[in-house]
Amino acid sequence: MTATTDGSTGAPAPEATAATTAPAGATPDAAGARAAAGRAIQRATEFLLARQDERGWWKGDLDTNVTMDAEDLLLRQFLGIRDRAVTEAAALFIRGEQREDGAWATFYGGPGDLSATVEAYVALRLAGDEPEDPHMARASAWVRERGGIAASRVFTRIWLALFGWWKWDDLPELPPELIYFPKWMPLNIYDFGCWARQTIVPLTIVSAKRPVRPAPFPLDELHTDPRNPNPRRPLAPVASWDGAFQRLDQLMHGYRKVALKPLRKAAMNTAARWIIERQENDGCWGGIQPPAVYSVIALHLLGYDLDHPVLKAGLESLDRFAVWREDGARMIEACQSPVWDTCLATIALADAGLPADHPALVKAAGWMLDEQIDRPGDWSVRRPRLEPGGWAFEFHNDNYPDIDDTAEVVLALRRVNHPDRPRLEKAIERGVRWNLGMQSKNGAWGAFDVDNTSPFPNRLPFCDFGEVIDPPSADVTAHVVEMLAVEGRTRDPRTRRGIQWLLAEQEANGAWFGRWGVNYVYGTGSVVPALVAAGLPKTHPAIRRAVAWLESVQNEDGGWGEDLRSYRYEDWKGHGVSTASQTGWALLALLAAGERDSKAAERGVAFLADTQTEDGTWDEPYFTGTGFPWDFSINYHLYRQVFPLTALGRYVHGEPFTDRAAAPAEGS
């Protein structure tokens, strides 16, 4: 990555820091907070500008958990391509993530996770670590105490079944004939969220083939009773949903024995065509690692050799998910986030005072314009007449643009004075039109699809790995509403329906649930600025309840933090170690609500100023992003940079687009 090439230092223009002088009548505390904020803005801006790629984008590392690294090694073992250098580098990373009790967690500071621990343990066995090694003995004891392999998730047991460590008969059945279900039929593939759909289609082939490659070692030490390694799980009552779907799975196992071979073969070939049609130009699938892994396995089982162009490109794409660290460790990213990082960085720099025609912003806007998707994807199954125009999260993912990225890209482009104004306006118009067309029938927006709310996919015994549907969420809906308000569409009936949905979704404590960020701090930090931008008065009861809640959960150090355990446990809502990104979210809500001169805002700004490092960033080991709430957590390395900078910029310069008078929102 490079600094800007226009000869500038990358520091904000003079107006970026001039507003740090407190207005007449301001308290000494306020004056000090604004001065500290100005200094922090300067350092943070320089840090961020220096990390822009020469092509205009930003991308931070994306930490998830060691199952990515373990499954990468298992894939290479299955395909016969595992080499010593990759194995040792992956093992170095996996060992470094182990907790003192022997387990592995799925997020920093979190509790041990059984499935992650099983997969990490097996990966280290592949790397040559022995069961009697102290760290391995601790891990196996921890696994046995929690039920052993038999208690792990379905995905973990599928990986073990590939090597004969688990019986295929004891896994849920996934018939490839699923590919033929029409879109009106329950449990058709488009009832699943796009990430689950891309995973399930290749796994139907794997499930039908049931391959077993010789295991290089036994795993008796991970069973509570090695003489009975595959104990059957008890059935739920037949009158319950779980019981009904368990018995449906039994029927599918019975169907396997009588399935017509020509039909099954045709279904697998149709699934293979579906997979190949969705391979991206860079060889990946959907820009995310898990579907790519299972697609490679599925196609290989159907006879595609590793030198086939489809598989060769797929394997090369997986190598691009690897992050090699200075200590020689190799970490696998589940996906990469350049579009998301770039639009958020653009917003942060503009709100921090960088001129709209600054070369870095113009270059970023140009790159984002090039990334707009102009062809239909899976979303068009539900919206066949809607013209494309969205943006995806990743470098290459034309099949799955998402509503959240599209809204934020539009908001970013609106902050830039791009020299090709007609092109920018056309791109924004297409993005707005696409987002409006993706509104669900309840008035809100999901992330990738319309009305992806079927209650059935989550009931399948197979689906125990996290969310498999994509219902509307408050954070995505808020970003769309904010974008529509900036575009002057507050009075549009579709915007007003989104506003009403958000008001109805506010919880009794005043917060909003955060689907794609942790958690109520993220939801509230997204919704309040959107409602205010859409014209809701700052005195509105919903805004005041949100402010009161944020003030009630502010930490003693002045920051805000929320642990991922808030997705499961009531006592964790709004509580956790203060982080820079979550403090930024809280401040964005308070500032939008008119609390710029409040004690809570001053303390939050002081926290950011005091905890900023010498080089202009913030330390943030805690995971504040989510893929699936609780089940799959993310540490976006640029969150610690862009959200504090955005908040500090708005604290010093005020809210963006203040010259755009919004019409009062319905319900105000």
427-431: long-range contacts at Cβ-Cβ below 8 A with a sequence spacing of 24 or more?
427/369, 427/372, 427/389, 428/487, 430/372, 430/387, 430/388, 430/389, 431/372, 431/389, 431/390, 431/391, 431/406
Taking all residues of the chain, what is their mean pLDDT, rounded to a whole number? 92
Among 289, 329, 322, 325, smallest CA distance to 98 is for 329
Cβ(137)–Cβ(100) below 8 Å = no
Asked if 546 contacts 507 with a C-beta cutoff of 8 angstroms, the reply is: no
Note the pLDDT of residue 373.
97
625 beta partners: 517, 634
Q: ∠ CA(315), CA(321), CA(325), 5° rounding? A: 125
CA–CA gap between residue 245 and residue 174 (Å, rounded): 13
What is the residue whose two structure tokens read 């196992």? Answer: 253
Average pLDDT over residues 504-512: 98
Q: Which residues contact 105 (CB under 8 A, 6 or more apart)?
A: 65, 97, 99, 111, 112, 113, 116
The reported pLDDT for the residue numbered 328 is 95
Q: Measured between alpha carbons, how far is 117 from 187 in angstroms, rounded to an integer?
A: 31
Listed residue (155, 148, 139, 210) closest to 461, CA to CA: 155
Where do the structural domains in the chain lie, given as residue ranges? 15-60+337-438+473-653, 64-332
Q: Which amino acid is at 283?
A: G
- Confidence band, pLDDT 50/70/90 cuts, at residue 535: very high
Q: Which CATH class is domain 15-60+337-438+473-653?
A: mainly alpha
Q: Are 546 and 506 in contact (CB under 8 A)?
A: yes
Residues in a beta bridge with 654: none
72 contacts: CB under 8 Å, gap ≥ 6? 90, 289, 293, 318, 321, 332
Residue in 113, 341, 402, 404 annotated catalytic:
404
What is the rounded CA–CA span in Å between residue 163 and residue 160?
Answer: 6
Condensed to tens digits (0 to 9), the pLDDT of residues 104-146 reads 999 999 999 999 999 999 999 999 999 999 999 999 999 999 9
Domain formed by 64-332, architecture: Alpha/alpha barrel (1.50)
Which two tokens mark 476?
A: 């995505």
The letter for the amino acid at 357 is D
Nearby residues of 624 by Cβ (< 8 Å), 6 or more positions away? 517, 518, 522, 562, 579, 581, 582, 635, 636, 639
pLDDT tens figures, 58-73: 999 999 999 999 999 9
pLDDT mean over 368-391? 97
Secondary element (H or E) of residue 636? strand 632-636
Q: Contact, 389 vs 82, CB < 8 A? A: no
Looking at the predicted structure, is the pLDDT value of residue 381 above 70?
Answer: yes
Alpha carbons 409 and 424: distance in angstroms, whole number: 11
Q: How confident is the model at residue 463 (pLDDT cuts 50, 70, 90)?
A: confident
In the structure, how many helices (H) and strands (E) does the chain have? Answer: 23, 5
Residue 245 has pLDDT above 80, yes or no: no
Q: Which residue did the predictor score with more confidence, 499 or 16?
A: 499
CATH topology match: 15-60+337-438+473-653 vs 64-332: yes
pLDDT for position 666: 42
Measure the CA–CA gap between 618 and 348, rounded to whole angstroms. Answer: 15
pLDDT at 83 over 70: yes
Give the whole-number percent of the chain exceeding pLDDT 70: 94
Q: Select the more confidently predicted residue: 661 or 185.
A: 185
Residue 17: band (very low, low, confident or very high) from pLDDT cuts 50, 70, 90? very low
pLDDT at 368: 98
> Tokens for 142?
């921890």
Query: Exposed e or buried b for every residue in 490-526, given b needs 16+ CB within 10 A?
Result: beeebbbbbbbbbbebbbeebbbbbbbbbbbbbbbbb
Binned at pLDDT 50, 70 and 90, residue 27 comes out as: low
> Dihedral angle at the C-alpha atoms of 525, 108, 90, 315, nearest 10 degrees?
-30
| 637/451 Cα distance (integer angstroms) | 31
Burial tier of 216 (Cβ tally within 10 Å: 0-12, 13-18, 19+)? exposed
User: Which phi and psi angles does 332 have, rounded to 5°?
Assistant: -100, 125
The neighbour count for residue 417, using CB atoms within 10 Å, is: 13
Of 287, 289, 270, the closest CA to residue 279 belongs to 287
Confidence category of residue 229, pLDDT binned at 50, 70, 90 = confident
Closest CA to 436 of 372, 505, 383, 513: 383
What is the reported pLDDT for 251?
85
In this predicted structure, the answer to whether residue 412 has a pLDDT above a threshold of 50 is: yes
> What's the pLDDT band for 433 if we cut at 50, 70, 90?
very high
Structure tokens of 500? 């009403």
Task: Assess contact for 42 and 33: CB atoms under 8 A.
Answer: no
Per-residue pLDDT, averaged over 5-21, amounts to: 36
pLDDT exceeds 70 at position 6? no
What average pLDDT score do residues 310-337 get? 95
> Which amino acid type is present at position 419?
P
134 vs 661: CA distance, rounded Å: 65
Q: Tell me, what's the pLDDT at 459? A: 82
What is d(CA 642, CA 49) in angstroms, rounded to the nearest whole number? Answer: 11
Statement: residue 250 has pLDDT above 90: no
Question: Is 404 an annotated catalytic residue?
Answer: yes
Q: CA–CA separation, 62 vs 618, rounded Å? A: 16
486 in Cβ contact with 660 (< 8 Å): yes
pLDDT at 364 over 50: yes
Phi and psi at 376, nearest 5°, equal: -65, 155
Which residue, chain included where needed, has tokens 């071979």? Answer: 261
Determine the pLDDT at residue 460. Answer: 83
Structure tokens of 615? Answer: 């080089």
Neighbours of 233 (CB within 10 A): 10
For 484, 505, 524, 580, the CA distances from 475, given in Å and listed in that order, are 14, 11, 8, 19
pLDDT for 25 beyond 50: no
User: Averaged over 398-407, what is the pLDDT?
Assistant: 96
Q: Which residues contact 24 (CB under 8 A, 6 or more apart)?
A: none
Residues near 195 by Cβ (< 8 Å), separated by ≥ 6?
Answer: 286, 288, 290, 291, 627
